[in-house]
Amino acid sequence: MLTLRTPGHRAAVPAAAALLLGGLVALAGCSSGAAPKPSTGSSAGSAAGSAAGGSGGGRPAGSPSGSPSGVAAGDAVTVFELADPIVRYQAYVADRLAVLDGQVQALSRAVTAGDLAASRADWLAAHLTYHALGAAYGAFGDAGQAIDGTASGLPGGPADPRFTGFHRVELALWSGGGTAAAVAPAARLAQDVAALRARAGRLEISANDFTTRAHEILEDTLRSRLTGRDDYGSGSGLATAAADAAATRTVVGLLRPILAQHHPDVVALLDRRLTTLDGALHPAGAPVPLRSLGRPQRQRIDAAMGAALEELAVLPGLLHVEEEDEDE
């Protein structure tokens, strides 16, 4: 049986959910080699959106038709209702990590070969795939910091040996070091991603963490991507923000059947807010650095982000699983 971590106790998920996990992970393993390689914000969105039934936020492929049986609007959400979307999300994470593993290996080969253009393209593709994982960030622990942490707070700043991962490679590729300076960091990144993929099946995502991340993904985007705080030269903040929005779509899409049953008025409003945000984050033409945005476009992004966050902020409360005594 699959064990789902919830506040204050561990709840055993019904055997059907455990069997579903096994089938989905097996399916993910078979299909990972054919998964598309995102190279822009919109393609990362397509990859993330596919787990949630498309970029329109529809029902996830293969999810049950209709709402959870025996549940009336306004009833409290139970851990067993949240088991299915979390199981599906775990399978999605396993599939995306397989894609990411191949992408960072390609990045390592490109920097070793001294191909700067290919290295930059491979870096962006891999980084957008990582950000499409969204709600799994909190489950990665120290591995998440090693893979996508910044130099903020490190005594040595960008020169600190503990500064690793995507942004260390980014600094080398876009700030004068070139491919030679990126060889060791890219190899380390590939090792860290492979290690994370190897333990993907043991990652735990609690019910309340999962529903909270639907809001926190875009909070992180507003704080880091849209301020340029985590930009080390690539100017990819807008494309990464679009990948974060796609990750939010994935989580909301997986929660859709529960929201539609318990809080049907929320679903349509969330869809409108996220659609508006998608439009703001995907300007015509190739992605551009944030600093190149005109004032009207930046205002449009800020307004759309604020409106989306306002609606997403209610989800953790609406879908909260009450803490239970372990002795019950």
CATH number where 262 lies: 1.20.1420.20
- pLDDT on residue 14: 41
Enumerate residue ranges in the chain where pLDDT < 50.
1-73, 325-328
In a domain, 6, yes or no: no
In a domain, 327, yes or no: no
In a domain, 8, yes or no: no
Q: Which residue has the tokens 């491919």?
A: 179
pLDDT in tens, 196-216: 999 887 878 888 888 888 889
In a domain, 262, yes or no: yes
- pLDDT on residue 284: 55
CA–CA distances in Å: residue 19 to residues 12, 96, 256: 13, 20, 22
- pLDDT on residue 140: 84
- pLDDT on residue 290: 85
Residue 184 tokens, joined: 């060791």
In a domain, 70, yes or no: no
**Are residues 195 and 117 in contact, defined by beta-carbon separation less than 8 angstroms?**
no
pLDDT in tens, 87-129: 999 899 999 999 999 999 999 999 999 999 999 999 999 999 9
In a domain, 154, yes or no: yes
Residue 196 tokens, joined: 């994370």
Q: Which residue has the tokens 């909260």?
A: 320
- pLDDT on residue 95: 93
Which H, E and C letters describe the chain, residue by residue? CCEEEECCEEEECCHHHHHHHHHHHHHHHHHHHHCCCCCCHHHHHHHHHHHCCCCCCCCCCCCCCCCCCCCCCCCCCCHHHHHHHHHHHHHHHHHHHHHHHHHHHHHHHHHHHCCHHHHHHHHHHHHHHHHCCHHHHHHHCHHHHHHHCCCCCCCCHHHCCCCCCHHHHHHHHHCCCHHHHHHHHHHHHHHHHHHHHHCHHHCCCCHHHHHHHHHHHHHHHHHHHCCCCCCCCCCCHHHHHHHHHHHHHHHHHHHHHHHHHHCHHHHHHHHHHHHHHHHHHCCCCCCCCHHHCCHHHHHHHHHHHHHHHHHHCCHHHHCCCCCCCCCC
- pLDDT on residue 39: 34
- pLDDT on residue 47: 40
In a domain, 229, yes or no: yes
In a domain, 253, yes or no: yes
Count of structural domains, the chain: 1
- pLDDT on residue 137: 62
- pLDDT on residue 73: 47
Q: What is the residue range of 92's domain?
A: 13-56+77-318
